[in-house]
Amino acid sequence: MLEFTSWVRSNYRSLILAILCFCGFIFFEANQQMFYARNFNNGNPVDVTLWEVFVGGLYRWMIWLMLAVPVVLFVLKYPLKRLSVKNIGMYALVLAGILVMNLAMVTLNNVWQSASFSVDFSEAFTFYFFHKAPIIFVALVFLVILVHFFRNQEELSLSIQEMGSLKYSNQQLYEQLKNETLADEDMVIQVKVGNRVKLVPLESIVWIEADDYCVRIHDKSGRAYTLRSTMKALEQRLPASQFVRVHRKALVNLSAVKEYVFGAKPMIVLNQGTEIPLAQSRIKDVRSLLQGV
């Protein structure tokens, strides 16, 4: 029952549309019956109104709706995973039982509404069986197909959400492992200065700027070193938890940031007072980063 309630909540809009179509169908059926009564009644006057015919049809289909609930519950509990003689036979038996119950209740309703109770049950049942059974059976089959459609759609949506969550978790795990498994040599950047190789620790770097086909690394002491590398390649080497790209020409060490300015002229102000422009396309990432701190 809880699964059925959840299904109704998640598909209430479609159900409202189905109810409106359902009422429209009953109204059309009432007009159809009035048309046949007025034109093929051998000249006898019609002593019922459209509203009475509509209400009568509404009673019959309300009974159908009431008996449709166990059909929905049955489909949710025993969905057709594959077509087989056993499964089709089970569904046919259930639908046949619901169909007979529907026709019996409709017949009893008409007998009860008869003022003289002179309507014979067996004759009325036979009439409704041949007159209404095909359309009611088709409606039940359509209901089964519809429930399967919504159920499969919900399962597909859940699978997509699970895949998205798994992808996000794997991405987080990858970033965590990438940051935690940095080798000792990756904790420094090797910069060639003349005939020497300068080891610049990551913690001493304040910010990095693009310089043509090279990058310039600025450290806390105010020195700058030129490294032949692209910003993109260097950004991939640096830990994302420590360095952030604020501009296509600038990478900043988060520990060296004094303040973030979000205004007409967004910028990053470093501890030494250096002002670095903050690209509009990077503001969202920086805000998200600040919220996660």
133-178 pLDDT, tens digit per residue, is: 787 788 888 888 888 887 777 677 777 777 777 777 777 776 665 5
Evaluate if residue 49 carries a pLDDT over 80: no
Same domain flag for 250 and 200: yes
Question: Mean pLDDT for the chain?
Answer: 78
More confident residue, 101 or 293: 101
Task: Return the pLDDT at 178.
Answer: 57
Same domain flag for 192 and 159: no
Evaluate if residue 239 carries a pLDDT over 90: no
Name the range with the highest mean pLDDT among 33-37, 96-100, 124-128, 227-231.
Answer: 227-231
Question: Which pairing describes strands 267-270 and 214-219: parallel, antiparallel, or unpaired?
Answer: unpaired
Evaluate if residue 183 carries a pLDDT over 50: no
**pLDDT tens for each residue of 7-48:** 667 777 877 887 787 778 778 877 877 787 777 765 555 677
Evaluate if residue 243 carries a pLDDT over 60: yes
Domain boundary among 154, 175, 196: 175
Same domain flag for 156 and 207: no
d(CA 262, CA 291): 14
Same domain flag for 161 and 211: no
Q: Which residue has the tokens 């980063």?
A: 289
C-alpha distances (whole Å) from 77 to each of 29, 94, 147, 153, 242 are 33, 13, 11, 16, 52
Evaluate if residue 3 carries a pLDDT over 80: no
The answer to whether 225 touches 217, Cβ cutoff 8 Å, is yes
Buried b (16+ CB within 10 A) or exposed e, 133-161: eeebeebbeebbeebeebbeeeeeeeeee
Same domain flag for 160 and 228: no
Residue 99: HSE in the Cβ half-sphere, 13 Å Cα cutoff: 21
DSSP conformation class of 262: -
Domain boundary among 175, 206, 232: 175
Q: Supply the range of the domain harboring residue 284.
A: 184-292
> Which pTM was predicted?
0.38
Same domain flag for 118 and 155: yes
**pLDDT tens for each residue of 247-277:** 889 999 988 889 988 888 899 999 888 999 9
Name every residue whose Cβ is closer than 8 Å to that of residue 269 and which is 6 or more positions away in sequence.
257, 258, 259, 260, 261, 275, 276
C-alpha distances (whole Å) from 282 to each of 236, 240, 259, 288 are 17, 14, 16, 10
Same domain flag for 198 and 154: no
Closest residue by Cα to residue 232 from 219, 204, 260, 213: 213
Same domain flag for 164 and 201: no
Same domain flag for 95 and 216: no
| High-pLDDT (> 70) share of the chain, % | 82
Domain count, the chain: 2
Same domain flag for 167 and 189: no
pLDDT band, residue 207 (cuts 50/70/90): very high
Average pLDDT over residues 218-242: 87
